[in-house]
Structure 1
Amino acid sequence: MTAEIQNKAEDTNRELVLTRLIDAPRERVFAAWTQPDLLKQWFAPRPWSTPVAELDVRTGGWNYVVMRDQDGNDYPNRGMYLEVVPNEKIVFTDAYTGDWQPSDKPFFTAVLTFEDEGGKTRYTARARHWTVEDRQAHEKMGFHEGWGMCADQLEELLKRG
């Protein structure tokens, strides 16, 4: 097996993917990921909420997002943007907490793409994990259900205008 084929197999074993066709232009879908007031309205699966969203959306920028469960427990998340292409792509990771400071335990890197498809947006979220065990843990946490609910909430928000 060549190194390229081996690397592709390893990537697949560590990746979770969600794709949706969202009935909104990609500029609006991108804006919902990059504007704090919009992100707070859809980012956590209900009944959870997102009371804090501080975003410096640019390559090398940082983010701080807090999700809150129905019992009032907060789950803070810090990360950095590795690549931002307006209306096309956002790559962020929890491997760094800002200013290229390594995090205590990196878990995944998200690769979000936004593609035009018949007046709608093909939204794809890829969660690439450091280990197969991390991918399995994220899957057991409910990646597909949670990120799917959030994608539904995102589309609901965009339909409301």
Structure 2
Amino acid sequence: MIAYDMDPKLDLVLERTVDVAPELVWKAWTTPELIVRWFAPKPWSTSSCEIDLRPGGRFDTVMRSPEGEEYPSSGCILVVEENRTLVFTSALASGFRPQNTGDGFPFTAVVSLEPAGAGTRYTATAIHADAAARKSHEEMGFVEGWGAALDQLVEVARSL
């Protein structure tokens, strides 16, 4: 597990225990063909995903609104600890190249998986640069959206 300083003024956290093994949650998080099945909370969808699963690799998705508008997101993987930790950021493109995130706000996602009986203690943290970015992400529906996506991930993982 990586160590970082959690700051409740800057960070948002979703924690839950789910009834699928860490290996299946990991597979759902790191396999593009599976990510497109769960990553966007319905009625949104994910139309594409590209992952190069290594530090400096890409984590790119395209989310599609119910009206058909597409929202690409490009990011860089920072940490890969198989079946335990995935860290990526929208502040960087692949190869650790800084990037302009356009109208959005950059953040770093830390996904931590810990065995919990036959299931997984799942913690997703969104780390923000400032309180305004955190507030924007919260108002966009971080808890509801990431929670709904986790429910969808669990359904996909159960089918594996």
Q: Same fold (TM over 0.5)?
A: yes
- What are the ranges of 5 or more consecutive residues in structure 1 without an aligned counterpart? 1-7
The structure 2 residue matched to 1:45, chosen from 38, 41, 46, is 41
Structure 1 residue runs of 4 or more that deviate by more than 2 Å after TM superposition: none
Question: Is 1:18 the equivalent of 2:5?
Answer: no
Matched AA of 1:90: L
Post-superposition offset of 1:158: 1.7
Q: State the TM-score, normalized to the length of structure 2.
A: 0.92
Q: CA–CA distance in 1 between the matches of 2:96 and 2:83?
A: 24
Post-superposition offset of 1:156: 1.3
Q: Show CA shifts across 1:134-160 (max 9, x none).
A: 000000000000000001111111223
Q: State the TM-score, normalized to the length of structure 1.
A: 0.91
Q: Show CA shifts across 1:93-128 (max 9, x none).
A: 011111222111452100110000011001100000
The match for 1:76 is 72
SS in 2 for 1:155: helix
Q: CA–CA distance in 2 between the matches of 1:38 and 1:51?
A: 11
Structure index of larger Rg: 1
Q: CA–CA distance in 2 between the matches of 1:42 and 1:147?
A: 10
SS in 2 for 1:41: helix
The match for 2:55 is 59
Over the residues paired in the alignment, what is the CA RMSD in angstroms? 1.5
How many residues end up aligned between the 2 structures? 154
Matched AA of 2:92: Y
The structure 1 residue matched to 2:81, chosen from 73, 80, 85, is 85
Matched AA of 1:137: S
SS in 1 for 2:95: coil
SS in 2 for 1:65: strand
Percent of aligned pairs with the same amino acid: 44
Q: CA–CA distance in 1 between the matches of 2:59 and 2:119?
A: 27
